[in-house]
Structure 1
Amino acid sequence: MHIKEIADKLKVSPRTIRFYEEKGLISPDKNDENQYRVFTDKEAWRLQTIISLREVGMSIQQIEQVLAEMDEGDSEEVLYYLELQRAVIFAEQVRLKQVINTLDHMINHYKSESSCSWESLWELAAQCKRTELERTNWMDRWNFDKQAASYDQQVQTVQESFHVHKDYDKVLDKVLEWIRPQNHEIGLEIGIGTGNLAGRFLGRGIQIKGIDQSKEMLKQCKQKYPEIETRIGNFLAIPFTDHCFDFIVTSYALHHLTPEQKILALEEMQRVLKPGGRLCIADLMFIDEQERASYLEQWKQRGRKDIIKQIEDEFYADRSQLLDWLQKNGARTQIEQINEILHLVYAQWSSKS
């Protein structure tokens, strides 16, 4: 096929096709006599792939990476890029929802005020900006891709004085017990890691899905539990539609978010839960800031600056703040402290919400 024929077939302009050629994404043969571009079936298929990826919002650079992986026959990496793009689109959906909410507040404020206060409107816009920065500024400072292969061994390794995974199996068993899953229900684990918690639900015949920002963790999970549907994603933009899960569980993950990000995470979890949905968090936290200060002081008195540094490198939650948000947003709560730093927080919303 010549360029006009394939452009008509794929419903794009010849100019678009020439653009992809200039970017090096396609390289059609040229007729020696007249230099007309000649598209083989292979080039037509490649061009169709490019157009499809552009339709879902991929950049030229991302498409270039996908095509390189396809050329090398690495279907797993291609799937990763597609899933990553899905996560990006969900994150954009969450951002747009926040912008719409801000506009609604501005409109209502403007209608209700006899003389519009631009300072108030400016503060609403600034708050929207701060929220967006909290959503987008998270980064994996702990390199979970690198930890993935040895993670299961790490959680079972007993450390002499400060063991963050103390009572690991006990607390995962309790999450399953507290959620009380039913056979007809569908659950979600956020920060699924290698699947140690989700596997307990699977063993009971419960359908559970999982998300994680680490592709290597998801690879480990898939090797152990190929039946579990997993997606690239995180607390701040859960890549599922509203009200689609009966319950959500998460373990040893929330403490990687700042206090402000934790609130955004709770909002996201409530968004994807059905009315009457349940949430169970097993994580490293303190009852309140006073307990945190007291705990750190104990280690300071023992000269263990290394342990203090380890704790301060992460964001152990103030449990009272989590409970305050959950209760203000209509959830009935239950708590249990497992050890000095490990807590369970359970929440259930009304089925009428």
Structure 2
Amino acid sequence: MKVHEAAKQLGVTPRALRFYEEKGLLKPRKEEENGYRDYSEDNITQLRWIIALRELGLPLTAVGKVLAALAVDVERTAPAGKDSFIRQADEVRAELYAEWTEQGRRLQALDRAIAVWRTQQASPGLQTAEANAMQLKQSRIERMTWSDRWHYDELALIHGQDAPIAALASELTQEQYESALLQTVEWLDPRPQEPGLELGAGTGNLTALLAAQGATVTAVEQSQEMLAVLRARLPAVEPRLGNLLALPVSGPSYRFIASSFAFRHLEPNQQLLALMEADRVLLPAGRLAITDRQDTVSPLCRWLEDHNYSIVTEALDGSLMLLYAVKP
């Protein structure tokens, strides 16, 4: 099929097809005698993927990664190929949600500035713009500077579903760990079909307990390898790649949120940003349970109280604490 025929069939311009070729996204055969491009059925399938993924908002670099994972035709790929495709799609979704969240914060900052400017008698003040811009910049820096210094991908490859326990072995026994998870579930008391979110789900140890209560659980985890273990282990759970500072969720969707041993990996300012993200996606009257070290959990109470949450704390075995809060 020649370029104009392919373009007409796909509803795009010949220039678009040449552009995708220049970017290395496809390689049609070229006729030796005249150099004309000849698009095979595989080329057309690949172009359909490119067009669909671009419409979904994926940048060209991400489209290239997804195409590589697809191995031309996703229906013919082996299970390993499918897993690679899902991983790439997960990464792109996490990036798009992070961008979407950032744009939402910019709109909120602009709304605050406009509200102040409307009350001013004189022309709009520069200080208002600078103050809101600085606040936005600082929160962006906090989100961008977080990194996994604990090598959870490697732990998941070595220990499988026991990776979280291996990471905590220096301070907790397995009995203490399992008891903490059970008490977290008891406080949340999930109901059948109730939508819940777990933050920093790891390989799904707490997730499995929540799902066993009949809840519909979405599990957010920043480690691809941890998430791969969770996905294989709990196929009924919705796994999402992402971190606590930019949750891959569009708005208030959950009746409860759970987190165990994840907030310890955030700096104090980042912990507050994570609470803001949890608050953003938690429905009114929703429940929040965070289990971690006492020195990690205690500072979170002030922010929740300031935002009119009803809170209860319970000391657990060792230096652990459980924070339970209900959104107004």
Structure 1 residue 54 corresponds to structure 2 residue 61: no
Give 3-state SS (helix, strand or coil) of 1:140's partner: coil
Which AA in structure 2 matches 1:4? H
User: Could you tell me the percent identity over the aligned residues?
Assistant: 34
Alpha carbons of structure 1 residues 160 and 84: separation in structure 2 relative to 1, 3 Å: closer
Alpha carbons of structure 1 residues 213 and 35: separation in structure 2 relative to 1, 3 Å: same
Q: Structure 2: any 5+ residue segments left out of the alignment?
A: none
Find the aligned partners of 1:141 and 1:154 in 2 and give their Cα distance.
15
Find the aligned partners of 1:111 and 1:158 in 2 and give their Cα distance.
52
Structure 1 residue 76 corresponds to structure 2 residue 83: yes
Q: 1:187-198 alignment to 2 at 5 Å?
A: 187-198=196-207
Find the aligned partners of 2:273 and 2:106 in 1 and give their Cα distance.
14
Which AA in structure 2 matches 1:13? T
Give 3-state SS (helix, strand or coil) of 2:286's partner: strand
Which AA in structure 1 matches 2:44? A
Match of 1:22 in 2: 22
After TM superposition, give the deviation of residue 136 of structure 1 in Å. 2.1
Q: Given the alignment, which residue of 117, 142, 147 partners 1:134?
A: 142
Q: Is the 8 A contact 1:327 1:333 kept in 2?
A: yes
After TM superposition, give the deviation of residue 223 of structure 1 in Å. 2.6
Alpha carbons of structure 1 residues 98 and 172: separation in structure 2 relative to 1, 3 Å: same
Find the aligned partners of 2:166 and 2:50 in 1 and give their Cα distance.
47
CA RMSD of aligned residues (A): 2.2
Match of 1:222 in 2: 231
Find the aligned partners of 1:161 and 1:76 in 2 and give their Cα distance.
33
Match of 2:106 in 1: 99
Q: What is the TM-score when the length of structure 2 is the normalising length? A: 0.90
CA offsets, 1:130-179, max 9 Å, x none?
11111222111111111114165465569997448671111111011101
Q: Is the 8 A contact 2:194 2:214 kept in 1?
A: no
Give 3-state SS (helix, strand or coil) of 1:167's partner: helix
Alpha carbons of structure 1 residues 37 and 98: separation in structure 2 relative to 1, 3 Å: same
Give the count of matched residue pairs. 319
Q: Is the 8 A contact 1:155 1:168 kept in 2?
A: no
After TM superposition, give the deviation of residue 283 of structure 1 in Å. 1.0
CA offsets, 1:32-65, max 9 Å, x none?
4432211111111111212222233333333333
Q: What is the TM-score when the length of structure 1 is the normalising length? A: 0.84
Q: Is the 8 A contact 2:290 2:323 kept in 1?
A: yes
Match of 1:87 in 2: 94
Q: Is the 8 A contact 1:2 1:39 kept in 2?
A: yes
Find the aligned partners of 2:7 and 2:187 in 1 and give their Cα distance.
58
Which AA in structure 1 matches 2:187? W
The structure whose Rg is larger is: 1
